[in-house]
Structure 1
């Protein structure tokens, strides 16, 4: 791409069926498929921070603090770490251990199951693995709701948090509803602490400078780098799904550069209101301004 970045948008809605057919043909012709997945993919799958999920799992917190959505509640300065832990335990349960209600991830897997594919994602909700994607073909760049790390951090290790999320007390589940109203505070003795320094554990999410890139993260990064090397001159389809401009340097910009440097590559973007591409790669771009669920269903 040249120094001046000019963008082109998706054709008008009336041409969406033709664009979907172009995407189908690109899939069939590709030697490899790289999926770039952003938050819009999980939204299309039915994972939302408001509505029924909020009222079902967080009604007590909503009543007490007036949270309008699950996400903003995660940043609330709770008075105690036990209350903070109770909120996040439910949050993790809903957004990591529960499968998305829609068929988006299953439809996507059907499209690439028998192809040479790799997934690069900023999502941290584990939905790819819950749907059956090969974990060796996944790179969660921004962390995982299912992992804990030292809040300091004093070392570059992480641990699975399932035992803490599903912890039980004598009067029922502290973190999760189980036919009864859950407690809003995890007892101090059940709050997870770092096994090395004793500080409280925190989520393994890239939200500030404390994010830990553990051994699993580095192995995934190496597999992604190897995949890129093996396909840098192949007929590769870069399929971007629901990626916005929060962190475009992770998926969007690298996809544009990869297609610009490989004339056998194709860029496809499915995104409501944000399906664009540099004019330099317009002829090898498939831009679909439509609901991801509908597009994947049509392809599947």
Structure 2
């Protein structure tokens, strides 16, 4: 009779479960959870066709015109870029706005929404993504925290009156070869100054976080009304670790964690599952095990 090979041991002596064992455990945790908290970074969007900005090479591969100008992500995604190079800054963000509007969320989003709908306390989303993909996938606005803001809202570059407004009426025309906005620059309806995305930029002293703070209040109210929810963290990296730090705080409050990341799924925690898979692949494999 053949037997399965033994589970390998880590240097500390703790055995490392196989990917099949971890997927099975993840399905069991989801089936028994009272509530679901989805913590999502940029990696969740890759399977929808969104670009990966990791490192200068990845960013400049997506935006070669910015490579010619030696403009890395942290320089173009800054208030200074809107002051000095407004047509270039809005060329970059206008292209992204058009891309996000045209992109459809992959099937994994629908699976997450279905799982959460089955749970007594439902689900909540905490994401550093500014693309609005969770809204497009049907998650209610009242159950989403966009911790870095949203490209679908605008604000004044100086936050003159503290107001936010929808970007729905802004339709940027961008010359992609040069990353320049060719249509009119958006303007603040209160003072006439340049408008910018309501996104937390690098070295940003004028980000209006009013909307995001309201979202945080809704999340806090939900967390106060439910037992520690199961956290599924997807595509969150260490370079800008906001989502990872959030997941760690939730674990300290008693939540189990399923981390999905093809490049760095390490948790080193007995109350966590590490899945070194892409977002859609992991979610579909888990779903196939749910009964």
TM range (shorter): 0.7 to 0.9
Work out which structure has the larger RCO, using CA pairs closer than 8 Å and 6 or more positions apart in sequence: 1
Match of 1:22 in 2: 25
Question: Is 1:48 equivalent to 2:44 in the alignment?
Answer: no
Cα separation, partners in 2 of 1:89 and 1:235, compared to 1, 3 Å: closer
Question: Cα–Cα, structure 1 residues 202 and 235, in superposed 2: closer, same or farther, change >3 Å?
Answer: closer
How many angstroms does 1:69 deviate by?
A: 11
Give the distance between the partners of 2:217 and 2:285, measured in 1 at CA.
34
Change (3 A) 1:107 1:10: farther
**Equivalent residue number for residue 8 of structure 2:** none
1:258 to 227, 243, 250: 250
TM superposition shift of 1:186: 3.0
Task: Look up the match of 1:98.
Answer: 102
Q: What TM-score does the superposition give when structure 2 sets the normalisation length?
A: 0.76
* SS in structure 2 at match of 1:113: helix
Unpaired stretches in structure 2, ≥5 consecutive residues: 1-11, 54-60
Correspondence 1:1-300 to 2 at 5 A = 11=16, 15-48=18-51, 62=64, 66=68, 74=76, 81-82=86-87, 84-94=89-99, 96-100=100-104, 102-115=106-119, 116-165=122-171, 174-175=173-174, 184-187=180-183, 190-207=184-201, 208-214=204-210, 216-231=211-226, 234=227, 236-248=229-241, 250-262=242-254, 265-278=255-268, 282-300=269-287
Q: Is the 8 A contact 2:105 2:137 kept in 1?
A: no
Change (3 A) 1:22 1:8: farther
Deviations 1:202-254 (A, max 9, x none): 1111112221112x3232111111112122xx252111111112343x43233
* Structure 1 range deviating more: 221-230 or 101-110: 101-110
TM-score, scaled relative to structure 1? 0.74
CA distance in structure 2 between the aligned counterparts of 1:88 and 1:283, rounded to whole angstroms: 41
CA contact (8 A) 1:150 1:200 kept: yes
Quote the Cα distance in structure 2 between the aligned partners of 1:235 and 1:63. 46
The structure-2 alpha-carbon separation of the partners of 1:64 and 1:195, relative to structure 1 and needing over 3 Å to count, comes to closer
SS at match of 2:248: helix
Structure 1: segments with no counterpart, 5+ residues: 1-6, 51-57, 167-173
